Amino acid sequence: MSSLEKWGLDPSRVSPAVRASEEPIIRFFAWHDMHPAAATMVLMEKFGHQWIYWEAETLKREILATFKATSISDHNWNKLQAVRAIFTSISFWHEWPIFEKVIQSLNNNLPDFAMMQRCTVAQLLAGIDMVSQLRREEYGDEISKYVSACAIDQGIMYLPPPLEFAQVHLSDPQYVCLDCGNVDDDDLSDGRCDFCVGRYMDQHNLNGKPAPWVPDDVGHHIERFVKRDPAGARKRFDELKDKKEYDINDESADDVQAAKLVVAYKYLNLRREQLVSQLEELKSWVSH
């Protein structure tokens, strides 16, 4: 089963993306809504992997000449540069400034390297989904924290796939010691209160182990919790995401979050449908 089929997308039900020419490829690169995965497949089919490493002017010249393209829009040009960054480096998965600009580019926005362009959850969902169609790597801690910060900014406590990797930072696990009252990040490997066991009491104790003079039965009386519980928003999102019509309670935080996530989810599916539609239009140029 292909990646397109597994999404359950039916190309016959999607409006064709390009209708202005009998040769859709001529307009494809000028049309701002070009899907980066479709463009990658077209370029790989025609140029192999070499285009990824060409000088920018060489790539632009070859696209215009080979496909008789009228132009390459600024939006699409930035998408192609984002794709090249994805293929040639792992910075996207580890450095938030690179991650942010790639996500913005893939979502039809022009990146501004002089300022921060905080991503919405919708942009993150669609952008990471598009990247996963090109290359898969593990996301580093810095990216997880960036994604969780974007969700917090929108008042969202639950991150559906493909953003689930950042849920642990969004939820922010904590513990409270019922003996001493210490509240701290739940990064425990032994389940014992840091304060009660004097874990960092000795300035030279860098191994994270309890102080050797503390009895083994001390520090176990803890209770775990999360600062931002995703359970309610997850439940409501799962109930609403595939419905065409639904009602929400404006006074319910879970309902409000779910409504925001449904909008993001629909945008994700729109971008997937665009890929199907564009590949259908360009099938003579894409054999894989």
**Which distant-in-sequence residues (6+ apart) come within 8 Å of 75 by Cβ?**
32, 34, 105, 108, 109, 110
Reply yes or no on whether the pLDDT at 158 is more than 90.
yes
Could you give the 3-state DSSP secondary structure of residue 174?
strand
Predicted pLDDT at 69: 85
The angle, 0 to 180 degrees and rounded to 10, between the axes of the packed helices 74-88 and 56-66 is 120
Our CA angle for 95, 158, 221, nearest 5°, is 95
The phi, psi pair for 131, rounded to 5°, reads: -60, -40
Read off the amino acid at residue 162: P
Residue range 264-280, pLDDT digits in tens: 999 999 999 999 999 98
The angle, 0 to 180 degrees and rounded to 10, between the axes of the packed helices 121-132 and 96-106 is 90
What pTM was estimated for this model as a whole? Answer: 0.84
How deeply is 121 buried, as exposed, middle or buried, from its count of CB atoms within 10 A (0-12, 13-18, 19+)? buried
State how far the Cα of 285 lies from the Cα of 96, in Å rounded to an integer. Answer: 35
Reply yes or no on whether the pLDDT at 18 is more than 50.
no
Taking every pair of Cα atoms in the chain, the longest distance, rounded to a whole number of angstroms, is 81
Reply yes or no on whether the pLDDT at 288 is more than 70.
no
Residue range 223-251, pLDDT digits in tens: 999 999 999 999 999 999 999 888 989 99
